[in-house]
Structure 1
Amino acid sequence: MRQKDTSTASFRRLLREISLLLAYEVTRELDIGMQRIETPLCEMDAPLLEGKKLALISILRAGNGLLDGILELIPAARVGFIGLYRDPETLQPVQYYSKVPRALDARMTIVVDPMLATGNSSAAAIDVLKQEGARNIRFLCLLAAPEGVARMREAHPDVPIVTAALDERLDDHGYIVPGLGDAGDRMFGTK
């Protein structure tokens, strides 16, 4: 994925595969209850997920690349979107859209964005979700920079971060180094 000449189709396929693997990690501690069932041979107490369906929240637009793989594992999840872009001068997030599932206070909420760079967009998205009532939140990303992890820990110490890799640092433009470039542009073929 990191190679600059990786095709858009290959990038999408790899992102989907990795997001499926990350989904296993982020859901590792789901609440499990028991229900008495009857198998073809006998009755037994079978484990099942407790509570409301999970909520997946994509930080637009790049977060959408993680959704397919996660939904493959959790097809009944509710899906929401928070539109943010990073102002190139200030590196601060600007919100332009928000549509999230109801009853976030009763759902595990998994926020997805491939890159945790400055941490400003992810922190802002989680601010929005907490205002909507979310309490049990996880953040899932493909790559993270130490600066973004520190920003998230400062803003939301209660939100665990699940990532495939922790890279070295941010450059002067707020990009992760060595990174993989702009995930949204690479996924959608816009650059």
Structure 2
Amino acid sequence: MLYYRQHFLHISNEGFIEIPRYIQTYLPHHLRVLIGQLQVSSHQLEIERGLSRGVPREERWCPICHTEVESEEHFVIGCPSYLDLRAEFQIEESLQLCMTMGDQWHLGRFLRATYERRERSLQLTHQTRVSTEQTITEFFQRVELHQRGPSIGLTLHQAAAQRARRRSRMVGYRRPQLYQEDISRINTTYNCMMEQRRTTTP
């Protein structure tokens, strides 16, 4: 709300809040929603997503260009990944001019195009990361897919599942160490028990 108050909240001389330009303009519903979400910071840009995750503001980098914090101003005006879209939709040089003086139809279509490009870029990045993880996982599995049997080692997911099932130890717990005489005593007891079972079983 601080960003909205500093940039988009305008009070008339009579003391009333001025109606935003995009509400006064005829627009399709989906374009009106995109502009409204940008104006009140109800979007999925990293400046807001990082806030919900507790990331410091200066570390909420743009996931597309990695040059600046992905704020509303950077997304609309500064990110070099959308330079061609800005020229196509005639976007002004400042976000405030876009929201107050610019063509709201062009702004809405520009936002739709940039969100679509951003989503595609993030999906490609995610797919690349997943394929790398699969390659690492397949390293531990048998190369011959037709050959059945146990894998060479644990996969990353199997190791994580085993760690999750492991019961946490109590504070001050020490694993008991078995000495040689203890081991021999256990073996002797076990052998006697098995011998007794063999003699009693017909």
When normalised by structure 1's length, the TM-score is: 0.21
Between 1 and 2, higher relative CO (CA 8 Å, sep ≥ 6) is seen in: 1
**Structure showing greater Rg:** 2
Answer 1 or 2: which has greater strand percent: 1
When normalised by structure 2's length, the TM-score is: 0.21
Answer 1 or 2: which has greater helix percent: 2
